[in-house]
């Protein structure tokens, strides 16, 4: 809690500020309401509602007339918000060693590995899987939350005694200005493929947003680059800190020397500073070899030694990523967050190295998001899976059937190994019911998320729970039949 005069100079009417909000419906008594410009809404239009709900003061960027609470006028409320949040929460980002990870795929896995290697008693995590440290876990509405939530979460970490924060930094967060006030001690890139063109307008703009992480790195910080990625040179040019690289070539700082993937683990040999690091990783797939390499190089840059972290590698678990469910069935069920063409292709290529028969995929694409990648996703699935069932996946205001038609747009004349079952629960049940011994059912796109955003509103939905329910229903049917 702060006085308004502690946040702004020349305040004529001083009031207590209990928090910061940009949603008039979520205002709690004493909150400072910031009238940012949203994607579809101008929050200046909701000032009266905010005051009615208990706002103690308002921050605006245009004249709104006299109100019953103090009004602070700034040039741009969107640009002002992160700096205001810094002040309100006493600059928690400066009290923590900030580790930011960007990339099209692998952000959640890499940031989670970093937290595990450092220890959740010292390192907090913010990303797609929520927010957490040793003392608590909580939800997170976005991969990288709006500034008022982001700084509140970082303040929580400080309060719980954390010294580090490992956060996913999305391209949209940079595009929306959520991270513009922040400097990073460590920045890392996993990979870059085309994504979120509905937001950025072009791949060049998307790449530019990701590059901002490296330009916002402290001069005495480190920029960790995947040297095997197509756009590695772009990130090196944008780096404000010292560049460290990982990849297969011997000239990298951390060399991926050798690895072999087994059904339940991966044996890896990295080389760092001339020393071979022998690792038994619980993570599967060659893409996770890169994610682990990135995370290790981040913690090495922080000063941690391999002997300090190697015993923690066996503890790595990323919820909703390559999560093989314990169904006790002769077929397999896996849940994963893969939703980009690259991520889907990598996952399915890995799955088919395992001792399985068919792969049956359940997947959709989000509404009000990048429509350009929908047919690419369709191609990636049917070209790499035995069978695909397309369904809704956060359709929001869009018609889910229209989204599925976008997905199959380029497939109608070339493939027949797919069908559309709009309802996601029914699609999961269909996939489970058609699985034979040795088949792998993959439910993709949502991981362990607990919601679906429909036109009628947000409902509770979890792919893992739905999968277990579908397995139970199938077992019951089989018991009745037998």
352-395 tens-digit pLDDT: 988 899 999 999 999 998 888 899 999 999 999 999 999 999 99
Residues 258 and 361 in one domain: no
Q: Is 195's pLDDT higher than 70? A: no
Among 138-152, 199-213, 432-446, the range scoring the smallest mean pLDDT is 199-213
Which of 264 and 296 is assigned the larger pLDDT?
Answer: 296
**Do 54 and 176 sit in the same domain of this protein?**
no
Distances from the Cα of 172 to the Cα of 188, 199, 294, 421, angstroms: 16, 7, 22, 31
CB neighbour list of residue 104: distance below 8 Å, 6 or more residues apart: 190, 191, 192, 193, 194, 195, 340, 342, 343
26 is a domain residue: yes
In the predicted model, is pLDDT for residue 194 greater than 80?
no
pLDDT at 196 over 60: no
pLDDT in tens, 220-258: 999 999 999 999 999 999 999 999 999 999 999 999 999
- Examine the fold and report which residue of 21, 48, 81 is the final residue of a domain before the chain moves on: 81
Q: Which pLDDT does position 198 carry in this prediction?
A: 56
CA dist 84 and 152 (Å) reads: 12
Last residue of a domain, one of 295, 315, 335: 315
> Which of 81, 113, 141 is the last residue in one of the domains?
81
Question: In this prediction, what percent of the chain has a pLDDT beyond 70?
Answer: 98
The angle, 0 to 180 degrees and rounded to 10, between the axes of the packed helices 286-301 and 107-118 is 50
In this structure, of 153-157, 201-205, 250-254, 263-267, the range with the lowest mean pLDDT score is: 201-205
Give CA–CA dist 356/263, Å, rounded: 10
Is residue 242 assigned to a domain? yes
Instruction: Please check whether residue 348 is in contact with residue 429, taking contact to mean a CB–CB distance below 8 angstroms.
Output: no
Instruction: Give Cβ neighbours of residue 446 (< 8 Å, ≥ 6 apart).
Output: 320, 335, 337, 393, 394, 461, 463
pLDDT for position 100: 97
> What was the pLDDT predicted at 412?
76
Nearest to 78 by CA among 170, 179, 163, 8: 179
Residues 56 and 188 in one domain: no
Q: Are residues 296 and 350 in the same domain?
A: no
Flag whether 334 is in a domain.
yes
Domain count, the chain: 3
Tokens at 288, concatenated: 């996770």
Domain containing 9 equals: 2-81
CATH number of the CATH domain containing 50: 3.40.1390.10
Pull the structure tokens for residue 157. Answer: 């970490």
Mean pLDDT of 254-271: 94
The percent of residues in the chain predicted with pLDDT above 90, rounded, is 83
Residue 60 CA to residue 73 CA, distance in Å, equals 5
Residue 86 within any structural domain of the chain? no
Residue 398 has pLDDT above 60, yes or no: yes
Quick check: 115 pLDDT over 70?
A: yes
């Amino acid at each position: 809690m702060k006085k308004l005069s502690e946040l702004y100079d020349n305040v004529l009417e001083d009031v207590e500020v209990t928090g910061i909000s940009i949603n008039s419906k979520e205002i709690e008594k004493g909150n400072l309401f910031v009238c940012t410009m949203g994607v579809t809404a101008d929050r200046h239009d909701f000032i009266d509602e905010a005051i009615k709900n208990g706002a103690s003061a308002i921050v605006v960027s245009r004249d709104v007339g006299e109100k019953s609470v103090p009004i602070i006028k700034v040039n741009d409320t969107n640009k002002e918000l992160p700096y205001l949040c810094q002040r309100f929460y006493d600059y928690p980002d400066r009290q923590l060693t900030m580790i930011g990870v960007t990339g099209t795929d692998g952000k959640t896995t890499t940031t989670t590995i970093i937290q595990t290697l450092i220890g959740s008693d010292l390192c907090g995590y913010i990303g797609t899987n929520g927010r957490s440290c040793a003392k608590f876990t909580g939800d997170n509405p976005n991969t990288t939350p709006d500034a008022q939530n982001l700084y509140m979460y970082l303040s929580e970490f400080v309060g719980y005694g954390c010294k580090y924060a490992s956060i996913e930094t999305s391209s949209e967060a940079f595009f929306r200005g959520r991270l513009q006030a922040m400097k990073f001690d460590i920045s890392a890139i996993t990979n870059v493929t085309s994504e979120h063109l509905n937001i950025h307008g072009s791949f060049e703009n998307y790449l530019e947003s990701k590059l901002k992480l490296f330009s916002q790195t402290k001069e005495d910080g480190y920029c960790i680059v995947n040297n095997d990625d197509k756009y590695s040179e772009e990130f090196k040019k944008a780096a404000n800190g010292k560049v460290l690289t990982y990849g297969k070539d011997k000239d990298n700082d951390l060399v991926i020397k050798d690895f072999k993937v087994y059904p339940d683990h991966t044996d890896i040999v990295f080389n760092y500073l001339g020393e071979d690091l022998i690792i038994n990783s619980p993570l599967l797939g060659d893409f996770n070899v890169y994610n682990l390499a990135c995370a290790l190089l981040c913690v090495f840059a922080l000063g941690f030694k391999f002997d300090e972290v190697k015993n923690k590698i066996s503890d790595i678990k990323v919820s909703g990523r390559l999560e093989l469910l314990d169904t006790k069935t002769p077929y397999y069920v896996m849940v994963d967050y893969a939703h980009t063409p690259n991520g889907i292709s990598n996952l399915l290529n890995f799955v088919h190295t395992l001792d399985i028969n068919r792969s049956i995929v359940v997947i959709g694409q989000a509404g009000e998001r990048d429509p350009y990648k929908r047919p690419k996703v369709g191609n990636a699935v049917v070209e790499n899976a035995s069978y695909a069932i397309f369904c809704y996946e956060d359709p929001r205001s869009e018609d889910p059937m229209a989204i599925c038609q976008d997905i199959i747009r380029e497939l109608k004349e070339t493939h027949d190994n797919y069908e559309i079952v709009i309802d996601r629960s029914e699609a999961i049940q269909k996939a489970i019911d058609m699985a034979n011994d040795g088949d792998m059912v993959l439910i993709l796109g949502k991981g362990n998320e607990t919601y679906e955003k429909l036109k009628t509103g947000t409902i509770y939905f979890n792919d893992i729970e739905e999968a277990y329910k579908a397995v139970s229903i199938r077992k019951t049917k089989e018991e009745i039949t037998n």
